Amino acid sequence: MADLKLTDVGKTYGGKVEVLKGINLEIETGELIVFVGPSGCGKSTLLRMIAGLEKITAGTLEIDGQVVNDVPPSQRGIAMVFQSYALYPHMTVRDNMAFALKLAKKSAAEIDAAVKRAADKLQLTEYLDRLPKALSGGQRQRVAIGRSIVRDPKVYLFDEPLSNLDAALRVATRIEIAQLKEQMPESTMVYVTHDQVEAMTLATRIVVLADKGIAQVGSPLDLYERPENEFVAQFIGSPAMNLIPGEVVGTGAQTRVKLEGGVATSAVPTTDAHMGLQVNVGIRPEDLQACGADEAAFTGVVEITEKLGEVTLLYFKAQGGRDPVIAKLPGIHNGMRGEEVCLTAAPEKVQLFANGRSLLYR
């Protein structure tokens, strides 16, 4: 059991390169928290600071109410699983998993029981006498996780554990990690990935990192349905949420926004003070649907189509100088290139942003 508390945590490398600042975050016992963000945003750095592998240069880290900034990694009750699983090649699965316990001078009976328990959880029992070279990539990753489970840590840290696996195996191993977490409801896990699907499927809460800090913390569906800012709006979801510039022309319980190609209605409430405000209207590609000309939030000529089988992506010209607008229609649609299409979205699916921030959070 462990909860973690980060207060104003920051990291500066070599006294001058500031990578993270002002990180405030509380993680409760039993949570599976996912850090997600673009490459280089400091995910691994933050995880390594929690593990004690990297010095915390500002703020405090508490585990179970105790400040551990200066506690060495081995005494933090934490286990870390890396992207490269680095098993000992000359040792069997059993010996790889037992290694840390042998070093800690545990009794043979204790080691045997711990290895058996972990192998059972990870479906590795029948592979205990094999060498790593006789295992698949996914099985090797499970052995790496097994090495940490035998130590019964309070907190598990994972740094992109699936990124060396091929696509099919990633999905299978992702589901295994979710099942493993269910078998260990008391253990706290912090999981780093740049893959938003992994984040959405595994996390109890997601922490989106950007610009040296936290862009938003919330449940996966919070981030999808109520992004606080344009960065999160476009980071979660694929293709990214469309942002179309416009002007507020009607306020109240519903807000009307005039766009280049129509008028969008949003369920985000506004007041008279918002009249004339320049906003970006946020609509996910999957929320756009064809409609009659008089209802159109957006009208455009299809420039490119991509038929993916389950869905067809329609690409329209950019509106007001932003990115192309994308609509994702279910099923296969042939020959739409060059056609003019009117699109709308349900008001509760239409987000509003001003200066990069959602009006929902003002």
* Residues that bind Mg ion in the complex, under the rule CB under 5 A: 44
Q: Between the CA of residue 323 and those of 65, 249, 306, what are the distances in Å?
A: 47, 23, 17
Task: Give the Cα separation of 280 and 245 in Å (integer).
Answer: 4
| Cβ atoms of 231 and 265 closer than 8 Å | no
CB of 15 to Mg ion, least distance (A): 22
Q: Which stretch binds ligand ADP (CB under 6 A): 35-43, 263-271, 273-281, 322-330?
A: 35-43
Which contiguous run of DSSP H or E holds residue 301?
Answer: strand 298-307
Sign, CA dihedral 89-91-95-101, equals negative
| Cβ atoms of 33 and 189 closer than 8 Å | yes
**Binding at 42: pick from Mg ion, ligand ADP, none (beta carbon under 5-8 Å per type):** ligand ADP
CB of 170 to ligand ADP, least distance (A): 18
CB of 47 to Mg ion, least distance (A): 8
Task: Give the Cα separation of 315 and 92 in Å (integer).
Answer: 53
CB of 192 to Mg ion, least distance (A): 6
Measured from the CB atom, the residue of 82 and 99 that comes closer to Mg ion is: 82
Is residue 17 near ligand ADP by the rule CB under 6 A? yes
Is residue 12 near ligand ADP by the rule CB under 6 A? no
DSSP 69: T
What does the H/E/C string look like for 193-212?
ECCHHHHHHHCCEEEEEECC
Q: Which of 1, 24, 28, 40 binds ligand ADP (CB under 6 A)?
A: 40
**Binding at 94: pick from ligand ADP, Mg ion, none (beta carbon under 5-8 Å per type):** none
Contacts of 88 (CB under 8 A, 6+ apart): 95, 96, 99, 132
Q: Which stretch binds ligand ADP (CB under 6 A): 13-21, 90-98, 137-145, 252-260?
A: 13-21
**Binding at 305: pick from Mg ion, ligand ADP, none (beta carbon under 5-8 Å per type):** none
Q: Which stretch binds ligand ADP (CB under 6 A): 33-41, 85-93, 123-131, 136-144?
A: 33-41
Q: Which of 7, 12, 29, 45 binds ligand ADP (CB under 6 A)?
A: 45
**Binding at 40: pick from ligand ADP, Mg ion, none (beta carbon under 5-8 Å per type):** ligand ADP
| Cβ atoms of 286 and 325 closer than 8 Å | no
Is residue 234 near ligand ADP by the rule CB under 6 A? no
Residue 1 three-state SS: coil
Is residue 19 near ligand ADP by the rule CB under 6 A? yes
CB of 239 to ligand ADP, least distance (A): 23
Angle between helices 137-149 and 108-121 (to 10 degrees): 130
Residues engaged in binding ligand ADP (CB under 6 A): 13, 17, 19, 37, 39-45
